[in-house]
Amino acid sequence: MSLNLSVIGTGYLGVVHAAAMVQLGHTVVAVDVDEAKITQLSAGKAPIYEPGLPELLAAALATGRLTFTTDYGRAADAHVHFVCVGTPQRPGENAADLRYVDASFEELAKHLHGPTLVVGKSTVPVGTAQRLDEMLRAKAPGGPDVTLAWNPEFLREGFAVKDTLHPDRLVYGVEAGPRGERAKALLDEVYAATIADGTPVVVTDFATAELVKASANAFLATKISFINAMSEVCEAAGADVVSLAEAIGHDDRIGAKFLGAGIGFGGGCLPKDIRAFMARAGELGADQALTFLREVDAINMRRRSRMVDIAREQCDGSFIGKRVAVLGAAFKPDSDDIRDSPALSVAAQVRLQGAHVTVHDPQAMDNARSKWPDLSYADSALEALQGAHVVLHLTEWQEYRELDPKVAAEHVAQRRVVDGRNKLDVARWTAAGWTLRALGRPTALATG
């Protein structure tokens, strides 16, 4: 059955969700307060780099069933409203900033006149859904007929289209009783094609649904920081963290995913979500349960400092007067997202210590220039390498992994590379005369 849906917010989550819902057969009105973004989207131009999104967006617009607007009133007749706005970290605090979520719900509430379902997809502290449910009932003209559900997203940037159309699970947070049953029935209609493909559905209460997302991100962050903690031990012991990760990853209780040692995680989700989780646990009086996340966060930040230290060593102990090439600006490949980017954090620290830093990234150059204008930028990887005393590989784009070290050697002042992601072919680079250092790997591997 085709439904009329609205999507509130057209950021990383909202724009993908809106276009994907059209592919699933629905009609969608997407609402955002940013007029420039709405104009761009209406013209079929994606505001972010996400593989598969331009094609998905173009196909959705071609059906005539996707509309972008700044007017909440145009979404009033939707059967289901998805709220997909961001929850950044509060300035100077660990807690999540819920201003945008609250504002979206309050504005949407003014237009809810009949029986309807509002679905929160934003990542929020546990307890938020219950508070917003009470607000909707109190403020919406059709309050008693307005039902809330919480349906957290689990998107990976670079795979967001796939994760929306073919998720590994759907989670519904609903209240007990008839209202919750109606909410589940409607969500089942929204995701009918996905469910028919075999996607499991977990139905639970508001609080558990909110905690599912927080817990998943906390676990993933912990796994990344675990292998990076092992990287610290490997460096001290002269062991190889890449071999270690391979060995423990064969244990199916552990698994190989998220065991890539390097300069750590960044982006708009994991860092701020684990901090918000800690903050909310403290408010609930359960702060001791999540004290380990402080160390997870600390390990993650230490890897950036360690990267700077190794780069300085490769510059003979000082960055003064040295040229440093940085390959990567996005926090991960297949994205233009620079939020809390480890690569740019390292680049900025190196520059502050006296180096001339030149950055290249296949997709994130414009975003990086706007946020870090004091860094220098190159239009190609080889241009970034020109005259460099050390090359820092900080975002594992395929382009960099395939870079010919013999060709690269023709552009640098010194053949020294530090692999912050443990993805370069050590034998290939050392055979071309490079000294290669990597986090968590013995220096014996550095030269051929």
List of residues 6+ apart from 410 with CB closer than 8 A: none
Is 315 a catalytic site residue? no
In angstroms, rounded to a whole number, what is the distance separating the alpha carbons of residues 41 and 9?
A: 12
84, 234, 269, 315: which is the annotated catalytic residue?
269
Structure tokens at 163: 């994760």
d(CA 316, CA 65): 61
Nearest to 379 by CA among 394, 359, 398, 399: 359
Q: Which residues contact 8 (CB under 8 A, 6 or more apart)?
A: 14, 30, 31, 32, 72, 75, 81, 82, 83, 84, 85, 104, 108
Half-sphere exposure of 290 (CA within 13 A, CB side): 24
Tokens representing 48 are 């972010």
Catalytic residues: 269
